Chain A
Amino acid sequence: MKPFLVVLALALLPGIALANDAIQISAAWARASILPSRPGAAYLTLQSDQGDRLLDVTSPIAKTIMIHQVLQSDGVSRMLHLPTLDLQPGQALAMAPGHLHLMMLGLTEKLVEGTEFPLVLQFENAGEVSVNVSVLGIAALGPAEVDQ
């Protein structure tokens, strides 16, 4: 019986590894904020091979984090609060200024260029995933590798 259990455990290992790899998060960055009392904006690129749903985002440095979609018509921009965010299988979802962003409210500190802060993302399938976000300049449009 014992060899069988070992084989079973070994067979499950890649499965566990896969669960951790189920979500790829890249280009996690935020804009430096000017006034500590004002909201900050963070951007991520998310991809899931199986498809997933982002349910919640939290951070020890923010009271609330909301997923915002920018709607533009005739030069007027409106923020649409999305309760969750669906990830299509294998399709990268890139947040970017003027389109999709995480609005961080009630910051405990100013976002200072060159620093990092943690974000905790709650996914329907992948569970809880942590990511470190780099704070870029106030005028940044994305990480350098995205710009080029």
Chain B
Amino acid sequence: MNNIPKINRLKPLRHLAWGALAIVVAASAGHLAWRTLYPSTEPARVVVTGEALIKSQFSLIDHTGQRVSELDYRDRWQLVFFGFTYCPDICPTTLSYVANILDLLGGDADHVAPLFITVDPARDTQEVMAEYVSVFHPQLIGLTGTEAEVASAAQSFRVFFEKRTDETAPDGYLMAHSGYIYLMTPDGKYEAIFLEGRETPETVAEQIQLRIEKENRS
């Protein structure tokens, strides 16, 4: 019994170590395979995609019929949000929220370009947008375009939207989109993000006012 070499007595320990390593390797490989086979189906979080990636870049038609791009609002802070006029519940709530913010800004609202971009350009024509935005606030700007132009604008803001077929819906489809409101600097860079129901209109107005004042000082 005492003749058993020392090395052999360590054998169970070695097996254990190799076993543990094998488990770790297998688990990692399994996890990797799982992530590859079943990628997360949750919509991408805007905060994760990176703030620097969000920029204001678009070519659309405003509600007065003019072709516009982000350069047309260069001297102003842009307050940008997406929606559509077939939405009777959420969108009017967001539009009145933005109208509230503009009222709270008072004279400072002249330094802000509030841009409402439709994700449903097939139904939200320039005429529809004109009638719609005027009800909420005289300064509100409605933007529409071709499907491709709207998709490209949404892409530049990293805004998620989808058109889902639903036989019970009018025209056979329903839209879903993210309700974030983006504050962009006068040169079209990302500054802040707001959400109706998360920040009060007073908070947003104050946040914008602080930035306008800071800019005026410098």
Query: What is A's interface to B at a CB cutoff of 8 Å?
Result: 31, 33-35, 38-41, 64, 66, 68, 70, 73-79, 81, 97-98, 101, 103-106, 138-139, 141
Shortest beta-carbon distance, A123 to chain B, in Å? 21
Neighbouring B residues of A141 by C-beta, 8 Å: 93
CA of A121 to CA of B60, assembled, Å: 44
Given contacts A74-B45, A78-B176, A98-B93, 15 further A-B contacts (CB under 8 A): A33-B88, A38-B88, A39-B170, A40-B88, A68-B89, A74-B42, A76-B43, A76-B160, A77-B179, A81-B168, A98-B90, A104-B88, A138-B135, A139-B95, A139-B99
Cβ–Cβ < 8 Å partners of B166 in chain A: 81
Interface Cβ pair total, 8 Å cutoff: 82
Interface size on B, residues (CB 8 A): 33
Inter-subunit contact B132/A34 (CB<8 Å): yes
Q: Which residues of B contact A66 (CB under 8 A)?
A: 168
Contacting residues, chain B, for A79 (C-beta < 8 A): 89, 174, 176
Residue from the set A66, A76, A97, A103 with the largest chain B CB neighbour count within 10 Å: A76
B43 and A74: CB pair below 8 A?
yes
Nearest Cβ distance between residue A71 and chain B, in whole angstroms?
9
A35 CA to B170 CA, complexed, in Å: 15
| CB of A76 to closest CB in B, whole Å | 5
Contact digits for B106-149, partner A, Cβ 8 Å, 1 yes 0 no: 00000000000000000000001001100110000000000000
Is B46 close to A, CB under 8 A? yes
A selection of 15 A-B contacts at a CB cut-off of 8 Å is A31-B92, A34-B131, A35-B85, A35-B132, A38-B85, A70-B90, A74-B43, A74-B178, A75-B180, A76-B177, A76-B179, A81-B168, A98-B89, A98-B197, A138-B135
B195 within 8 A of A: yes
> Contact between A103 and B136 (Cβ–Cβ < 8 Å)?
no
Give B contacts to A, CB under 8 Å: 42-46, 85-86, 88-90, 92-93, 95-96, 99-100, 128, 131-132, 135-136, 160, 166, 168, 170, 174, 176-180, 195, 197
Q: Which residues of A contact B99 (CB under 8 A)?
A: 139
Assembled-state Cα–Cα distance A72/B213 (Å): 35
Contact A103 B89 (CB under 8 A): yes
- In the bound complex, residues from chain B placing their C-beta under 8 Å from that of A78 are 174, 176
Chain A proximity of B213: nearest CB distance (Å): 28
> Which 10 A-B pairs rank lowest in CB-CB distance, beginning with the nearest?
A139-B96, A41-B88, A75-B178, A78-B176, A39-B88, A76-B178, A41-B89, A101-B89, A34-B135, A77-B90
Bound Cα distance A97, B93 (Å): 7
